């Protein structure tokens, strides 16, 4: 297992300076209280910081999984300005980044996410966790008064096209709960 | 209750130590729930309309998303469907088609194929 996974995105010296400056400013003033243009630069710095230090590749290395311009040529130049529905060409140097059919990025490096044993996986048992946290306590139903079902619909609508793992379709691959 | 298992991605030999799973959707916030996660899906949802409009069906009572013969809704991503999610998918499809009309009126010489809501 590689402990030093190579980052897909490395901020330049200039970008790292921007990240450091805005970190200092943000200790006193959050980005949304800065004047418009400065706030926009602050957001850009936050984006670079999160991308560099908080987003890790789902693969051990970018090559060959994220592709390159030689192997994945852009068949139609209109995708320089229009979205490709497969999710390709958002990054021209890594044309397959984030496209349908490749792994989703993660917030922890792979070296910190070793596969658990069966015992670790079932301890604590998900059912126990569910019973402890989801059980309705004495006093019964507590209504949510600050939001309605549309909030759930809106959140699902915004995020349900984000990731959906490939499933084992065969019946033998299913986990049975009873 | 049966839950389908995620299929482990064996494309990389290191899956034994750190498993990975393929994402069948695009990983971007790119409106793929409306337009689908492949060029073919988008083309099917748009039909042959020259302005790139999404196909909607007009029935008594209003305009609805199209459905297949089994009654499943035809949209970009239709897992875990319920009335709330149908409302929002319909709303955004209508918004898409309204903007197509607006752009056609303002820019008669544009090709319709590229039009797509931006998120």
Asked whether the beta carbons of residue B1 and residue A178 sit closer than 8 angstroms, the reply is yes
pLDDT mean over B25-35: 93
Evaluate whether B116 touches B31 at the Cβ level (below 8 Å). Answer: yes
Please check the confidence at residue B6 and state whether its pLDDT lies above 90. Answer: no
User: What pLDDT does residue B118 have?
Assistant: 64
Asked whether the beta carbons of residue A1 and residue B88 sit closer than 8 angstroms, the reply is no
Of residues B33 and A82, more confidently modeled:
B33
User: Could you identify the residue written with the tokens 């789902």?
Assistant: A58
Can you tell me whether residue B58 is helix, strand or coil? strand
Paired tokens of A130: 């569910």
Quickly state the pLDDT bin for B3 (edges 50, 70, 90): confident
Evaluate whether A97 touches B3 at the Cβ level (below 8 Å). Answer: no
Q: Is B116's Cβ below 8 Å from some Cβ in A?
A: yes
Asked whether the beta carbons of residue B6 and residue A169 sit closer than 8 angstroms, the reply is no
User: What pLDDT does residue B14 have?
Assistant: 82
Evaluate whether B51 touches B104 at the Cβ level (below 8 Å). Answer: yes
- Residues 45-104 on B with a CB inside 8 Å of A are 76-77, 79-80, 82, 84-85, 87-89, 92
∠ CA B116-B118-B119, nearest 5°, is 140
Question: Which chain B residue's Cα is nearest to A58?
Answer: B20
Asked whether the beta carbons of residue A163 and residue B2 sit closer than 8 angstroms, the reply is no
- For chain B, how are helix, strand and coil distributed in percent, rounded to 5? 35, 15, 55
User: What pLDDT does residue A60 have?
Assistant: 87
Q: Is B24's Cβ below 8 Å from some Cβ in A?
A: yes
Question: Which chain A residue's Cα is nearest to B85?
Answer: A153
Q: Structural domain boundaries of chain B?
A: 20-106
CA atoms within 13 A on the CB side of B23: 24
| Residue from B6, B13, B16, B22 to probe the interface with A (highest A Cβ count within 10 Å) | B22
Task: Give residues with Cβ within 8 angstroms of B20, minimum separation 6.
Answer: A58, A59, A103, B8, B9, B11, B12
pLDDT mean over B81-85: 95
Q: What is the pLDDT of residues B56-67, one digit of tens each?
A: 999 888 999 999
CA distance A110 to B68: 41
Asked whether the beta carbons of residue A160 and residue B17 sit closer than 8 angstroms, the reply is no
User: What pLDDT does residue A4 have?
Assistant: 60
CA distance B87 to A3: 47
User: What pLDDT does residue B114 have?
Assistant: 56
Q: What is the pLDDT of residues B47-58, one digit of tens each?
A: 888 888 999 999
Chain B CB contacts of A82 under 8 Å are 114, 116
Which residue in the set A58, A161, A177 is minimally distant from B32, CB to CB? A161
Whole-model pTM?
Answer: 0.83
Quickly state the pLDDT bin for B92 (edges 50, 70, 90): very high
User: What pLDDT does residue A1 have?
Assistant: 44
Rounded to a whole number, what is the distance in Å from the CA of A1 to chain B's nearest CA?
A: 7
Can you tell me whether residue A103 is helix, strand or coil? strand
Chain A CB contacts of B6 under 8 Å are 165-168
Share of chain B above pLDDT 90, in %: 55
Calculate the average pLDDT of chain B: 89
- Identify the segments of chain A with pLDDT beneath 70: 1-6, 170-178
């Amino acid at each position: 297992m590689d402990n030093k996974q190579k980052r897909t995105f490395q901020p330049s010296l200039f970008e790292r300076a921007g990240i450091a400056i805005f970190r200092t400013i943000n200790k006193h003033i959050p980005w949304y209280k800065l004047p418009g243009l400065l706030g926009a630069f602050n957001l850009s710095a936050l984006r670079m910081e999160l991308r560099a230090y908080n987003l890790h590749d789902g693969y051990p290395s970018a090559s060959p999984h994220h592709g390159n311009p030689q192997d994945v040529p852009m068949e139609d130049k209109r995708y320089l300005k229009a979205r490709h529905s497969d999710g390709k060409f958002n990054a021209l140097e890594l044309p397959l980044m984030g496209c349908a059919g490749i792994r989703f990025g993660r917030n922890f490096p792979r070296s910190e996410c070793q596969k658990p044993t069966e015992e670790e996986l079932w301890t604590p048992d998900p059912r126990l966790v569910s019973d402890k946290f989801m059980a309705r306590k004495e006093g019964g139903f507590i209504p949510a008064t600050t939001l309605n079902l549309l909030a759930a619909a809106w959140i699902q609508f915004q995020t349900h096209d984000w990731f959906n793992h490939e499933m084992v379709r065969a019946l033998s691959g299913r986990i049975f709960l009873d | 209750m049966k839950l389908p298992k995620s299929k482990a991605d064996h494309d990389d030999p290191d899956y034994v130590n750190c498993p990975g799973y393929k994402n069948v959707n695009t990983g971007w916030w790119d409106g793929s729930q409306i337009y689908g996660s492949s060029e073919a899906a988008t083309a099917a949802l748009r039909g042959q309309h020259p302005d790139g409009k999404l196909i909607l069906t007009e029935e008594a009572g209003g305009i609805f998303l199209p459905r297949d013969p089994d009654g499943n809704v035809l949209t970009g991503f239709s897992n875990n469907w319920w009335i709330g999610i149908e409302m929002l998918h319909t709303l955004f499809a209508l918004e898409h088609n309204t903007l197509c009309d607006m752009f056609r009126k303002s820019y008669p010489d544009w090709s319709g194929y590229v039009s797509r809501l931006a998120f």
